[in-house]
Structures are given as C-alpha cells and as structure tokens.
Amino acid sequence: MHFKFTSLHFFLVFFLTGSLFSCELINPDEPIPAFLYVKPFQFSATGSQGSASHKITEVWVTVDGDFLGAYNLPAVVPVLKQGKVNARLEAGIRDNGRSATPEIYPFYQVVEQSLDLKPDRLDTLRPQISYKPGIKFALIDDFESGSHSFQTLVTGADASRMTLSSNQVFEGRGTGLIRLNEKNPSVELATTRRFTGFFEKGNAVYLELNYQSQGPVSFGVIGYKSGATAGQISYVAGFNPSDKWNKIYFNLSEAIASSKLDEYQIILNATLPKNENGTNSRTEADIRIDNIKLIYF
C-alpha cells in the first residue's frame, strides 16, 4: 500500500515536532537538589542561666545568603545548590504559644556550618546551641529556694496567693502553685521587684516559663513612671489548661516599648476555666509554674 503524504500531513508533523521541541525549551531537565536532614536542636544552659528546658519547634534555614524557609522539626530541606556552601540554622519558637506566630528566638545562638553538597544526597545536621553571649536575665526563678518572685497580691484573696510545692514538679524539688476554687475563682499576682533598663541596647524582652494548669492564665506587665505608686496594666497573652507540663515564650517587647514607662512588674491573672455560657467548668483548679526567666539584651 502506498501512503500519500499530503500538505495536511506535513503540517501535522511540523506542528507536533515543533511542539515537542518547544516543550524541551520551556521545561528543561530540572536540577536535582541536595537534602539537609535537620534533627531537633539540642539546647544547653549554664548554671547561672537556669533550666535548659526549651520548646524549639522550627528551624529557619539560610544557605549562602538565600533564605529557604522555616521548617517544622525534624526537617528535610531541599537545597538547589552544589559544592561547598555555608548553612545558617536559627531556632524557631511560637511567640506567645500561638502556631500562627512562628518567630526566630532572638536569644538562642545561630548555628553556621560549612557543607559540601551533592545532588540527591542527604546530609544530617545535629544543631547544638546555648544562649547568645551578652544577653541579660532580669529574673530567674526556679522555685528551689524558700521564696518566690510573685509575692504582690493585686486582686483576689490571700488564700489564692502562690505557694511553693514539692508535688508534681517539672524538675528539681519545687514549683510555684496557685489554688483556685469557687470561693476564690481568680487572682492577680505581680512580682515584688520592679525591672528597668530593658531597651538600653536592644529591642526584645521575653518571659519564658514552664507550666501545668487546670485553668487559663494570662501574663503581662505593670508599667510605672519612675518612683510612681500607680501603674498601667497591660496583658500580652496567656495559656489554656494543660494536663502535661509545657513551655511557653511570652513576647513582652511591644507592650513595654509602646508604654514608654520606666519600671515594670510582671503580672499574671489566673482564673477558673469557663463554659461557653460563662459559668465555671471546674469548682477547683491548680496552676503550677516553674523556671520563670525574664530575658533581654
């Protein structure tokens, strides 16, 4: 059988050949990435820096100056580079415990590591960090001594004051305990000490702490003009009940900077948990707090 090659056939062959050729130009072979496997950060603190507890949830990755993103830990990070590079790893936390506000924690060291990347190869990184040098601890309270920082009763009854407890501790021998009931359903407590000098050299102030709680607790600051007795209360954020010990980082920077005051106390407000209709969902609630740190540059 003879096949007659018409102008229509010529057009189809030309069109298909041209289409295939243009696809090769538009979609060339994609480069094969190298991969970084970043294990969870290992954090250590010296004896003068309090507990080594942390809640580092993400790693922020930069390679040769190109920011590649923030990844939940442990993380597999594709890198479209080959050969010798410099990788920069920064520890990420959730500001005020909220998943919607991931941030690089400014007080943790940055890990920088030289790598020799090869396509389709997985390199494992085990970042080890501590606090940056030069940071300041306005307050460290691990509730191991015979006293604690939250001695000032702002509102509530004496029966709801924070006490020291050796039961259900996070670590060590003691923890701060607040006990609420229907007779005393809420309490506001503040640090006895006032703190100053937060923004002399830096612009970040954080409150770290561990907690286990049957009721919600909010944290903030009371700001004062120098020497004044009356202050301005500004609550920043809080935590919800948690049966297990947890860690949270409260970012106090904006509340302190915007107030433009001179002295600050840390304040907390603990309450019985509520139902949607506003009634108490519990008749009693225990709130345990440990390893409070007030940190700034």
Q: Could you state, in order of their start, the residue ranges of all structural domains in the chain?
A: 34-129, 136-296
pLDDT per residue over 52-88, tens digit each?
Answer: 999 999 999 999 999 999 999 999 999 999 999 999 9
pLDDT for res 78 = 98
The set of residues, in sequence order, having a beta carbon less than 8 Å from that of 43 and lying 6+ positions away, is 52, 54, 56, 91, 108, 128, 129, 130
User: Model's pTM, two decimal places?
Assistant: 0.88
pLDDT per residue over 276-297, tens digit each?
Answer: 999 999 999 999 999 999 999 9
pLDDT for res 240 = 97
Neighbouring-strand partners of residue 267: 190, 220
Class of domain 136-296: mainly beta
> What's the CA angle centered on 209, arms 204 and 213, to 5 degrees?
140
CATH 2.60.120 is right for the domain spanning 34-129: no
pLDDT per residue over 194-232, tens digit each?
Answer: 999 998 767 899 999 999 999 999 999 999 999 899 999
Instruction: Note whether 34-129 and 136-296 share their fold.
Output: no
The set of residues, in sequence order, having a beta carbon less than 8 Å from that of 122 and lying 6+ positions away, is 35, 36, 37, 76
Phi-psi region of 289 (alpha: psi -120 to 50; beta: other; left: phi over 0): beta
Average per-residue pLDDT for the chain = 91
